[in-house]
Amino acid sequence: MGHFEIIEFYLDLVRRAQERGIRCAITSGMACVAFEIAESTKDCDLLCDPEMADKFLALLAESPLGDSPCQYRGNLSPPLDGRWLKGGWTSHFEWPGTEAFLDVFGIAPRARSSWFEGTSAIYAHPHVVADMKRTGRDKDWPFLTGLGVKLVEGGDPRGWLHVYDEDRMADLLVKHPEIPTAIIESRPLLRMLMDGVPGLAAALRLERTFWMDLSKLRVREYEKPLRPYLAAVRKASAGKKLSLLEDHQLRVACAEAHLPLHPLSPDILNAMIASARTSALMGMTPDMACWLPNVIPNFTLLIPGLQSPA
């Protein structure tokens, strides 16, 4: 099966989900292609409203690709259940014998606003996709800048939050000299750009390193409870040939016993932030810390009870 057929299958799956009233949107690489940044992306990342996870699971159960039925990918995948999706877990699916892979999540990592507010499109908003691209992988950052530039040029000043290239920033500022105060408050290093303060390139490197470290620490926190869950799923499913829905029930039972609903608490996040700050500032003068952003708004959707400092 050629990969274009797989892409068409993903698009059709999302269209059918939306026709059934399931709030969902394609994000990450496939969305970047839609936003005119061609990326060689093989899998489909999908945001799905956690309250509609059961409906989406039912759709997957009746959506084979060719002769291949959908199934969970590996024993490590958490169940597609709103309780875990709300806590930031990702459910992984595949269609065996094909190269179709689907990752479903309910909360867009690091997104400052709910991804489904005001959108009925097949793709998540570029502002949300950009926040999700703020990962620990170097390869994602040029995409982040591209999305930011595209937003600014399209009249959405939130794009200024996502540009990590000094030259692009300078070019943008010539054409779009007004940056709203609220945006500058969210990203202090924009003040350096506006006022021509030297050291912008270093501040951009610092902020990027900080975000990358924070992303790696977040993933590590989720990986901690996965080992007992993996062992339980492996043991419970050994020697069984399960349908997707049977496998799902098994995983829910294992998750109820081993997988915390919310791996990140405010205390854990604050410790992660402190660690990422220290690590990013290594080799820099301590006063550079003032250019780092307050990232609490990027986690308020994920962590119940989290509030920005007054």
Partner 1 sequence: MSPVENLAEVLVDVEDQRSVFEDHIRQSFGDEIARVSKLPLMERYRYVAWMIDNGRKHGVKHTREPRGVTE
Binding site for partner 1 (CB under 8 A): 2-4, 6-7, 33-34, 36-43, 45, 73-74, 76-78, 88-90, 92, 94, 99, 101, 103, 105, 109, 132, 135-137, 140, 142, 145-146, 149-150, 152-153, 165, 168, 171-172, 175, 215, 218-219, 222-223, 226, 229
Give the CA distances from residue 77 to residues 89, 103, 126, in Å, rounded to whole numbers and listed in that order.
9, 10, 27
CB of 162 to partner 1, least distance (A): 12
Q: Which 3 state secondary structure label does DSSP give 59?
A: helix
CB of 103 to partner 1, least distance (A): 6
Of 172 and 273, nearer to partner 1 (C-beta) is 172
> What residues contact residue 15 under an 8 Å CB cut-off, 6+ apart?
122
d(Cα 142, Cα 149) in Å, to the nearest integer? 11
CB 6 within 8 A of CB 65: yes
CB of 132 to partner 1, least distance (A): 8
CB of 73 to partner 1, least distance (A): 5
Of 39 and 54, nearer to partner 1 (C-beta) is 39
Of 157 and 289, nearer to partner 1 (C-beta) is 157
Of 172 and 192, nearer to partner 1 (C-beta) is 172
CB of 134 to partner 1, least distance (A): 9
Distant-in-sequence contacts of 183-187, Cβ < 8 A, 24+ apart? 183/157, 183/158, 186/161, 186/293, 186/294, 186/297, 187/160, 187/161, 187/293
Tokens of 21: 């009233």
